[in-house]
Amino acid sequence: MPLVAAGGRTVHVQELGEGPAVVMIHGLLIGSLASWYFTAAPQLARGHRVRMYDLRGHGRSERAAGGFDTATLAGDLAAVAGDLREPFDLVGHSWGGLVALRFAREHPARVRRLAIVEAPLPPSSALEMASFLAGDGLPARLLDALPAPLREAVAGGRRQAERLVKSIERLVLESSLLDDVRREPDPGDAELARVTAPTLLAYGDRSACAPAGARLARVLPHARHLVLPGGHYLHLDARARLAEAIEAHLG
Amino acid sequence: MTPDRAEILRVVERLIVEVAGDELLVTGPITLETSFNGDLELESIEFVALAEKLQQHYGASVDFVGWISNKELDQIIALTVGELVEFIASCRS
């Protein structure tokens, strides 16, 4: 089921495995469903029906001029998960984690368990993760900003680096993505406390997002806070341990 | 190369071209030594598409994603066409 119509848009969706449903959401800019497909998804797929999709404007989903705020993206998620009858689990990395938290507040009866990986708070602090965007010389600084395994892979050649830079330039120059991130309001502790689903919070010990994990751990009623060795791209830096922790949490 | 492996190599090459375009072949045909990352420079999202095509072609008996998931990231990055051909051959024997 690669390309499906959801909410009036074409969305690239992939599924692995069978069982209770888990929907996995990737982060902005360098993310795509491949972020999960080759990391935690195969392990979860041993006991779950794992659904992954490319966010609007990312991967093979339809390009988008705007709508990268969590309200719009949670609406996209509702469309992608529209056929799931039973409550399902949500796993989100970075901005995808904020989308999962928002969806869980708006549709508490539809979400069973949550795994939030490296979601930034306040949301606009996500721009710190994308500091490579400031000024000129995007390709060189982008490579510096990538997690080590990806950097080595991309830095070796031309095709991958060119394509990665092109896709990021398209999002940065031809969409409202950065403005959407900048304008995203902080949900506030009282609003976050409405997330009732049992939630795993996984953060990297070297990540600028670490304070967000501590805050969510304090505010969410049913949270478990896990700090793993790694940076913001924890699904790469701590691939096996993160997959195990998510699998154990979802059960 | 056994006839079996030669046939698998032809299938894999066709699926790679379907996923990433035939400009990948301008530097020569895909061989067992060709690496997905260093030589072909497939994007990760193209690798997902290749996984899907392998699944469609060979069915559930070739669990490409399960096989990949047991590898370390640096092994995945260094993966060659020959390793994939060998894996597919082992699933079918």
Whichever domain contains B21, its CATH number is 1.10.1200
Provide the percentage of residues in chain B whose pLDDT is more than 70: 100
- pLDDT on residue A92: 98
- pLDDT on residue A135: 60
Task: Tell me the C-alpha distance between A227 and A46, whole Å.
Answer: 25
Strand bridging mode A9-16 / A3-6: antiparallel
- pLDDT on residue A230: 93
For chain A, positions 182-221, list CB contacts with chain B under 8 A. Answer: none
More confident residue, A203 or B74: A203
Name chain B contacts of A149, Cβ cutoff 8 Å: 73-74, 77
- pLDDT on residue A62: 96
A136 confidence band (pLDDT: 50, 70, 90): low
Residues A164, B44: C-beta atoms closer than 8 Å: no
Question: For residue A238, how many C-alpha atoms fall within 13 Å in the half-sphere facing its CB?
Answer: 22
Q: The complex's ipTM?
A: 0.90
Residues B45, A153: C-beta atoms closer than 8 Å: no
Integer-rounded Cα radius of gyration of chain B: 12
In chain A, what are the domains? 3-127+175-245 (3.40.50.1820)
Task: Tell me the C-alpha distance between A202 and A209, whole Å.
Answer: 10
User: For residue range A176-199, what is the model confidence (pLDDT) as tens digits?
Assistant: 999 999 999 999 999 999 999 999
Chain B CA closest to residue A1:
B52
Q: At B24, is the secondary structure helix, strand, or coil?
A: helix
- Domain count for chain B: 1
Q: Is the pTM of this model over 0.80?
A: yes
Q: Which domain holds residue B80?
A: 3-92
Is the CB of residue A16 less than 8 Å away from at least one CB of chain B?
A: yes
Strand order across the A21-25 sheet = A3-6, A9-16, A49-53, A21-25, A88-93, A111-117, A199-204, A223-228
What percent of the residues of chain A are helix, what percent strand, and what percent coil, each to the nearest 5? 45, 20, 35
